[in-house]
Chain A
């Protein structure tokens, strides 16, 4: 039986620090109840009789416990307009900054990697159409990439269920989707054609380089799953894929502080993002 007071203040602190140091995920005091429930689930699943013994197990990563805890702690499902404060940052700040720096009429390139079943890159497209006044004045290219070719196929088909659309207003759903099957909607053709989907392993330089340079990259909730070396390599690949002065957005509970010092920290009203130095040479 697991004792009712699961984690005392110090246990919680120590767990958060451990997770932060090893994955980059940050949990604040406000998430304590949530984290405690997840730890409780894992303790029951692993038959750990105390937090201390569970933590020892976590440290030793017995039977992949770290990944299991991360999986339990992240909202794994993807949906439209997830963490949309970053999209707000895109239209409020990032695109303007990029326009200031780019040669006129050069395409604005945005990368969603990993793109999973397409919710993120399609969300970006919809958001731009809805919120960027200048959207028609510029050439925008949106690329979605993932290591998993099955999700890419689904992304290209662009058919989504109710949960994926839960954050979209009925007006937006009507405007950009058509009913495709019971409780399923397909994104309209114009948007399906506006996103290019490719296979890419973020850790493999040879797979990343051919995509060229981007103005903004969204790489959310992926790096937390990597070991240190893979994370470094992914960070270097992402750095190489950014135009000088380009931005990268991580998941909202992630920080570059556990990943790499290659990027500069930038704070905007809606989000903290990271930037490749404008003085950096190409590639």
Chain B
């Protein structure tokens, strides 16, 4: 069991989404960091890696797919951080694209509280 809290980085340009995830995840015992888009996500991870990521697709300047591709090209540990991709898009093509870019898990929005906390616990190897 880890001594420290697991850190989740939420990469999403929607203020209210980040706030909502923060409430759920903090209540579930995680530490939460936020980024508004893929570039900011990379910057934050370069300063301190997270244990898991929640990544939106549609964001300004750098979308989630591009972010993941860039992330998977980095050195360890960044390149292996598990990522849950969330999107409003639900076609098989979108899911395939996200997986090809490096998503471990793909959820169509809206995500339920149990699914979110459960997925993060699974990624971090802790109990939900």
Contact = CB atoms under 8 A, between A and B. Distances in A.
Q: Are chains A and B native binding partners rather than an unrelated pairing?
A: yes
A21 B34 CA distance: 14
Contacts of A31: none
B61 A257 contact: yes
Contact of A255 (B15, B40, B60, B66): B40
A9 to B, nearest CB: 11
B25 to A, nearest CB: 16
A261 B46 contact: no
A147 to B, nearest CB: 25
A255 B39 contact: yes
Contacts, number: 39
B61 A260 contact: yes
Interface residues of B, number: 15
A257 B47 contact: no
Given A257-B62, A265-B46, A272-B47, A17 B15 contact: yes
A256 B36 CA distance: 12
Contact of A267 (B35, B36, B46): B46
B55 interface: no
A257 B15 contact: no
A260 B61 CA distance: 6
A21 B36 contact: yes
A20 B66 contact: no
Contacts of A17: 15, 36
Which of A255, A258, A261, A272 has the most C-beta atoms of chain B within 10 angstroms of its own C-beta? A261
B42 interface: yes
A261 B61 contact: yes
B26 interface: no
B43 interface: yes
A257 B36 contact: yes
Interface of A: 13-14, 17, 20-21, 255-261, 265, 267, 272
A-B residue pairs, 8 tightest by C-beta? A257-B39, A267-B46, A257-B40, A261-B62, A265-B42, A261-B61, A265-B43, A257-B37
